[in-house]
């Protein structure tokens, strides 16, 4: 297929710009919410957690629908429609006069923001099974690139006004939509399409459909727990570092930029090398071990430099996501990639509904006077425990994989 290379390039740019837009507002949104709450960090924490849960609830409901629609009509229209909706939603946030409008905007963005489902299905369409882990890692690299630029620029733009980053994010997303309208080819061949079914497209049906794939079902549990664990980061990172280390918006943006740089390095190149050398299974376990350690250190850190050091070392844990996704994708057929990605997005959305409110509630409680012990890092300790359980579940799931699978043996390292 001659369109594969430029198509993958566009998906990379699409995800990178999408995350760039999110990165622009990450240092700003909690502070803007805090201003609506009269400067009360604990109250703002609860609102931020609720906003994130609402976004995830909408994705939970609509991601399977978009995944199944992409299996029926192709990936291109779903990706383009979601980009258009996301771009317009940023402008709604930019001019929102009160928190009520923020809640409406998160509903809209949750519905239209499931383009990651079609994007990952697009990658599965154009990637041979043995290269899917590396190409799924490309999404992580795009996330990293977006976070390299977005948070720092967002922090700087925030000095000109807390609404400015939303307008810039909206403009970038709409430019990306227009670019895709001109250049994005379709990836799903007509013979690999399947009819739309409401039974598979409602979130419950999509999750129940996982039962037909025992390997995917088991690893989906690991994927689910990882996503709950990561709910502690977007919900509490800004508030935690502000409370614990008194970081400014610019300092928070810098920390997220380093996260982005490391994600781009790990998922843009290191993942491919690690998977080639030790295989997908061992790469997943390595990442889970590093994730367990990283969350614990974030919670224990007493100085800002400790956080920076752990970002660099803990980023190696990023190899787990692409490895697990590749193993799951390998276990289903070509005409089910959109559906399986929709199911995974639904699980991620459920995790997003559960994770941020738990994390922000733990943070709010353990910095309040009601707490029997002062423990601002409680949310990160909770996440560390979840990743450890996810590792145990992955080890159990790997027993169902045949020894002859590509992930069971390290792939030969490509000659340079």
Q: In the predicted model, is pLDDT for residue 405 greater than 50?
A: no
363, 377 contact by CB (below 8 A)? no
Does 244 fall in a domain?
yes
When the pLDDT of each residue in the chain is averaged and rounded to a whole number, the result is 78
CATH number of the domain residue 207 falls in:
1.20.1250.20
Q: Residue 333: its pLDDT value, please?
A: 64
Rounded to an integer, what distance in angstroms lies between the CA atom of residue 120 and that of residue 163?
A: 31
Range of the domain at 284: 4-181+199-398
If you average pLDDT over residues 57-73, what whole number do you get?
79
Does 22 fall in a domain?
yes
Q: Residue 387: its pLDDT value, please?
A: 93
Q: What's the gap between Cα 268 and its chain centre? A: 15
Pick from 40-49, 91-100, 159-168, 398-407: least confident: 398-407
Going from the C-alpha of 181 to that of each of 5, 138, 265, 357, the distances in angstroms are 17, 22, 30, 37
Q: Is the dihedral of CA 327, 333, 337, 341 positive or negative?
A: negative
Q: Residue 55: its pLDDT value, please?
A: 78
Pick from 19-33, 95-109, 241-255, 331-345: least confident: 331-345
Pick from 106-120, 226-240, 319-333, 398-412: least confident: 398-412
Select from 309, 8, 37 the least CA-distant residue to 134: 8
Q: Residue 391: its pLDDT value, please?
A: 92
Does 394 fall in a domain?
yes
Does 381 fall in a domain?
yes
Q: In the predicted model, is pLDDT for residue 411 greater than 60?
A: no
Q: Residue 406: its pLDDT value, please?
A: 40
Q: In the predicted model, is pLDDT for residue 285 greater than 80?
A: yes
Q: In the predicted model, is pLDDT for residue 90 greater than 80?
A: yes
Rounded to an integer, what distance in angstroms lies between the CA atom of residue 158 and that of residue 412?
A: 48
Dig out the tokens for 92 from the structure.
Answer: 């709604």
Pick from 55-64, 276-285, 297-306, 308-317: least confident: 55-64
Does 322 fall in a domain?
yes
Q: What is the pLDDT of residues 166-207, one digit of tens each?
A: 888 888 888 888 888 888 888 777 777 777 666 666 666 666
Question: Within 10 A of 276 (CB to CB), how many other CB atoms are there?
Answer: 17
Q: Residue 205: its pLDDT value, please?
A: 67
Does 403 fall in a domain?
no
**Is the entire prediction scored with pTM above 0.85?**
no
Dig out the tokens for 227 from the structure.
Answer: 């996503």
Percent of the chain past pLDDT 90, that is, above it, reads 7
Q: Residue 416: its pLDDT value, please?
A: 31
If you average pLDDT over residues 345-358, what whole number do you get?
78
If you average pLDDT over residues 27-40, what whole number do you get?
77
Domain count, the chain: 1
177, 84 contact by CB (below 8 A)? yes
Report which of residues 151 and 241 the model is more confident about. 241
Q: Which residues contact 180 (CB under 8 A, 6 or more apart)?
A: 10, 14, 79, 80, 83
**DSSP string covering 145-159, please?**
HHHHHHHHHHHHHHT
Q: Residue 201: its pLDDT value, please?
A: 60
Assign 288 a pLDDT band (cuts: 50, 70, 90): very high
Does 415 fall in a domain?
no
CA dihedral 359, 360, 365, 367 (to 10 degrees): 110
Q: Is the dihedral of CA 390, 259, 238, 234 positive or negative?
A: negative
Q: In the predicted model, is pLDDT for residue 75 greater than 80?
A: yes
Does 408 fall in a domain?
no
Q: What's the gap between Cα 53 and its chain centre? A: 14
């Amino acid at each position: 297929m001659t369109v594969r290379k430029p198509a993958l390039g566009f998906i990379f740019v699409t995800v990178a710009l999408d995350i760039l837009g999110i990165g622009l507002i990450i240092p700003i949104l909690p502070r803007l919410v805090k201003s609506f709450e009269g400067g009360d960090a604990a109250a703002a924490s609860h609102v931020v957690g609720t906003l994130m849960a609402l976004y995830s609830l909408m994705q939970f409901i609509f991601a399977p629908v978009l995944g199944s629609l992409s299996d029926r009509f192709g990936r291109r229209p779903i990706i383009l429609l979601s980009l258009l909706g996301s771009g317009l939603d940023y402008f709604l946030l930019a001019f929102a006069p009160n928190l009520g409008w923020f809640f409406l905007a998160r509903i809209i963005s949750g519905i239209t923001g499931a383009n990651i489902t079609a994007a990952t299905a697009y990658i599965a369409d154009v990637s041979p099974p043995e290269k899917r882990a590396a190409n799924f890692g490309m999404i992580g690299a795009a996330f990293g690139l977006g976070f390299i630029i977005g948070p720092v620029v967002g922090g700087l733009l925030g000095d000109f006004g807390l609404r400015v980053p939303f307008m810039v994010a909206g403009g970038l997303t709409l430019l990306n939509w227009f670019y895709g309208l001109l250049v994005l080819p379709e990836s799903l061949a007509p013979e690999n399409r399947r009819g739309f079914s409401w039974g598979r497209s409602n979130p419950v049906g999509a999750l129940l459909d996982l039962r037909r794939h025992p390997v995917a079902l088991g690893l989906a549990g690991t994927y689910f727990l990882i996503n709950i664990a990561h709910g502690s980061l977007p919900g509490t990172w800004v508030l935690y570092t502000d409370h614990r280390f008194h970081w400014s918006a610019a300092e928070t943006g810098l920390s997220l930029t380093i996260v982005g740089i490391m994600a781009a390095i790990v998922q843009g190149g290191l993942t491919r090398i690690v998977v080639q050398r030790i295989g997908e299974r061992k790469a997943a376990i390595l990442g889970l071990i590093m994730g367990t350690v990283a969350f614990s250190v974030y919670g224990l850190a007493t100085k800002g430099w400790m956080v920076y050091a752990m970002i660099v070392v803990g980023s190696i844990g990023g190899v787990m996501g692409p490895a697990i996704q590749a193993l799951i994708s390998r276990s289903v057929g070509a005409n089910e990639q959109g559906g399986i990605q929709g199911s995974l997005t639904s699980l991620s959305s459920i995790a997003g509904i559960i994770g941020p409110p738990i994390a922000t509630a733990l943070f709010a409680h353990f910095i309040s006077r009601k707490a029997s012990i002062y423990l601002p890092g409680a949310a990160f300790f909770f996440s560390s425990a979840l990743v450890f359980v996810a590792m145990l579940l992955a080890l159990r799931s790997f027993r169902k994989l045949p020894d002859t699978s590509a992930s069971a043996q390290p792939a030969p390292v490509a000659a340079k």
